[in-house]
Structure 1
Amino acid sequence: MSDELLVVRCQLGERDALAELVRTWHKPVWTYVRRMLDAERADDVTQEVWVAVLRGLPRLKESGRFAPWLFTIARRAVADRLRAEYAQPPPETQPQPAGPQGDAFEAALDRAELVGALSALPVRERDVLALFYLEDFSLEDCALICGVPVGTVKSRLNRARRLLSEHLTRKGYGHELA
């Protein structure tokens, strides 16, 4: 069943349609939020997103634009959480215990390096990068979700790629990025 039909059914008060929308879109929303935050915060923020969807669904005028509307809500929820956390003093870091050695350790380091590089990107660039490359939204939908012109999305994607490349090059991964 199409999202558009599910949205209309939700707006008519059908609980089964809402359950189907949540089943269909919960994982993509959580994955997007997780790419912006850690897993624990992603669970909380995703729950906030669905509460906002439940409240706002009756007012959604273009039922065919559900996905961009949903990800706009998710983006705003992430931004709100980050804004609230940036206002708090940073927590003290604990020293990490020595980990396993070998190929698994190297793979974990490579993944940690990539995750670190992504999280080091400015939020706007990370946001657009996640929406475009990881959630497969078009440039136009990214622009709609972020509330900016398509040209701004393109420039943020370009900057995100450049910053990611520079970070990984500094860490010794440059020869693989060329």
Structure 2
Amino acid sequence: MTDELLVLRCRLGEREALAELVRTWHAPVWTYVRRMLDAERADDVAQEVWLAVLRGLPRLKEPARFAPWLFMIARRAVANRLREEYRLAATAPEPEEGPADAADALVDRAEMLAGLSGLPPAEREILVLFYLQDLPVEDCAEICAIPVGTVKSRLHRARRMLRDQLVQRGFQP
């Protein structure tokens, strides 16, 4: 069943349609949020995303464009969380680091994630959307509210930055 049809069914009040949307899109949304934040915060932000989706579905103008709309909501939720944390960090002492995520135990995966997390948010976001969420450049541009050319230049810069970080850690290009 298409996302468009599920959105239309959700608007008609069908709970099963909403459950199907969540089943289909929860993992991609959580993965996107997880790449932008740590696992602990990702759960909370992903829940905020689904609440925003539930509230916003009646106002979605183009149900066929559900995926870009969903990731725009996720992007906004991540940005709001980071903004709030930066604001709190300016007034609070340095936070202690928690234990490492068990899913990141594999060395190569941990190195890749460390390299990804070391990128500036704009470049990290583009890599996550394009490579990990398999979204086309045009959808990435719409989600980030930037021109397609800017997406392409950020992708180029982000790949170069990630490669440089991995090389510094001893990985071969």
TM-score (norm. length: structure 1)? 0.87
**What is the identity, as a one-letter code, of the residue corresponding to 2:80?**
D
Q: What SS does the aligned partner of 1:91 have?
A: coil
Give the equivalent residue in structure 1 for 2:58. Answer: 58
TM-superposed CA distance for 1:121, in Å, is 0.2
Change (3 A) 1:163 1:47: same
Residue 101 of structure 1: aligned partner: none
Instruction: Report the number of matched residues.
Output: 164
Question: Once the 2 structures are TM-superposed, how far is the Cα of residue 13 of structure 1 from its aligned partner?
Answer: 1.6
- 1:91 is matched with which residue? 95
The 1:93/1:37 distance shift into structure 2, 3 A limit, reads closer
Q: CA separation in 2, counterparts of 1:93 and 1:118?
A: 18
Could you say which residue in structure 2 is the equivalent of 1:148?
146
Matches within 5 A, 1:1-178: 1-89=1-89, 90-93=94-97, 108-173=106-171, 176-177=172-173
Query: 1:62-114: CA deviations, max 9, x gaps?
Result: 000000000110011011111111122331458x8xxxxxxxxxx74433222
Runs of 4+ in 1 over 6 A off after TM superposition: none
Deviation at 1:115, TM superposition (A): 1.4
Query: 2:107 and 2:135 mapped to 1: Cα distance?
Result: 29
After superposition, the CA RMSD in angstroms is: 1.6
SS at match of 2:88: coil
Partners of 1:25 and 1:111 in 2: CA distance:
23
Share of identical aligned residues, percent?
Answer: 70
User: Which structure 1 residue ranges, 5 or more long, are not aligned?
Assistant: 97-106
Please report the TM-score for the alignment, with normalisation by the length of structure 2.
0.89
Q: Between 25-34 and 50-59, report the one with greater CA deviation.
A: 25-34
